[in-house]
Amino acid sequence: MNNATQVNPQPGKELDLRKRTASTKVTDEEFSELEAFARRQGKSMSEWVRETLFTGARNQGDRTILLHIFTDVVGIQMLLMNALEPLLCGEKLVRDEVAARFRQIQKSKAAQAQELLNRRAQGKEN
């Protein structure tokens, strides 16, 4: 008996067979949760798992870009917070001070962004 699953070919392409299995172990509770996700999308469990697996794997680059963007947004927020307060208090920033703040923010923004993401993952917004 052949366990390969036939995949509908596109016109002009050879029939592609799915012969390999990618598996993982989950708890009964996790399995029920996965079944519910699949059911809500009107898909079989195997179809939903396969699509979700490939979507996650193929979008890794997108997440990296989003992390870079988030890090830069945090840097902009840090710049505003560090520069606006003295300006609003009537102080003037000299060129060397501004350059030093830029360098400091450039060095620390990634750590600040990661710390913020970690706090949010733990449900702590501040």
pTM for the full predicted model:
0.53
Q: Where are the domains of the chain?
A: 27-58, 61-121
Return d(Cα 52, Cα 32) in angstroms, integer: 16
Among the residues of the chain, which ranges form H helices?
Answer: 28-40, 45-58, 60-88, 95-121
Q: Tell me the C-alpha distance between 116 and 111, whole Å.
A: 9
The pLDDT tens digits for 21-64 are: 888 999 999 999 999 999 999 999 999 999 999 888 888 778 88
Nearest-10 crossing angle of helices 60-88, 95-121: 130
